[in-house]
Amino acid sequence: MNSLEGKVIVMTGGAGGIGEATARLAHAEGASVVITDREAGPVTAIAESLGERALGLAVDVTRREDNERMVAAAVDQFGRLDGAFLNAGIEGQVGPFDSRTDAHWQQVFDVNVHGVRLGAEAAIPALRKAGGGSIVITSSVAGLRGAAGLSPYVSSKHAVVGMMRCLAAELGPDGIRVNTLNPGPVDNRMMRSIEDQANPGHGDEIHAMFASRIPLGRYVTNEECAAMAVMLLSDAAGGCNGNTYLVDGGYCAQ
Ligand SMILES: NC(=O)c1ccc[n+]([C@@H]2O[C@H](COP(=O)([O-])OP(=O)(O)OC[C@H]3O[C@@H](n4cnc5c(N)ncnc54)[C@H](O)[C@@H]3O)[C@@H](O)[C@H]2O)c1
């Protein structure tokens, strides 16, 4: 049997990268998926390419009503909610700690922290109604370690690890498991943005420097992250609650 057969899952940040890969794998594993992102176009196209059991929806995670609409769509279309993959995030700008504006800190925390909070708040009543489920929050190795030049992002990714631990403690008795996915550098748009900001015009040098610090010698892929997210959303992870799950090629082992 497929690992997510019969399950209904909502996802944020699903227009590309880790989110799209997870939507596609979750669907292939039998789930009905509500795939969301800031704009309807890309997620609607992904949902249409999947066919039945897939719906694309515009959701800005910083808006409470959007998160509630996402969960309502899952229940209306597919009858229940079993899982939430709270994955939307922004990298923000790269630069020294004391050069970041108030507005910049606010923006990164609005999406990366409050977006996750609002997604969890919207999902919890429906997950309770279903008798339990799984929430997977995309943090990062930046949620476990510091990194020069990325202070708002790193701080926000640490914050959701704390949020996950509180949620796991509170929701465990209801059968709702909560964990974080913590990818290392992923070979995708977000890392290319960070590389290009860190060394404009020479992002490939930053890429090579990061890759040399990873025991596998390369970035991980969207699909490798998706495999972990889908496992955590499935009953195979029935004993997993309140923990951080690294997909980092060994980056944090050293
Ligand atoms: N790329 C990496 O190396 C890496 C490493 C560790 C963790 N992550 C995390 O993985 C998650 C997915 O990122 P990705 O690597 O796939 O990059 P990505 O930029 O392709 O995906 C992030 C998605 O979030 C969406 N988003 C941003 N603001 C939003 C908002 N207000 N409402 C709804 N959606 C919004 C974007 O449109 C985008 O589709 C993020 O939380 C990111 O921080 C990425």
pLDDT at 71 over 80: yes
Kindly list the distances between the CA atom of residue 36 and the CA atoms of 41, 71, 129, 242, in Å, as whole numbers in the listed order.
10, 11, 22, 25
Q: What percent of the chain has pLDDT over 90?
A: 99
pLDDT at 177 over 80: yes
Ligand 1 within 6 A of CB of 144? no
pLDDT at 54 over 90: yes
**Taking residues 153-167, what's their average pLDDT?**
98
Distance from the alpha carbon of residue 1 to the mean position of ligand 1, in angstroms: 30
Ligand 1 within 6 A of CB of 224? no
**Taking residues 29-48, what's their average pLDDT?**
98
Burial call 190-203: b when 16+ CB within 10 Å, e when fewer = bbebbbbbbeeeeb
User: Residue 135's beta-bridge partner residues?
Assistant: 84, 178
Q: Is there a catalytic annotation at residue 153?
A: yes
pLDDT of the residue at 33: 98
d(CA 43, CA 14): 6
Residue indicated by tokens 């964990």: 179
**Taking residues 217-234, what's their average pLDDT?**
98
Pair 232, 5: CB distance under 8 Å: no
> What integer best gives the mean pLDDT of the chain?
97
The model carries a pTM of 0.98
pLDDT tens for each residue of 98-137: 999 999 999 999 999 999 999 999 999 999 999 999 999 9
pLDDT at 35 over 80: yes
Radius of gyration of the chain (CA): 17
Confidence class for position 1, pLDDT limits 50, 70, 90: confident
Which domains can be identified in the chain, with CATH numbers? 8-186+221-253 (3.40.50.720)
Pair 14, 74: CB distance under 8 Å: no
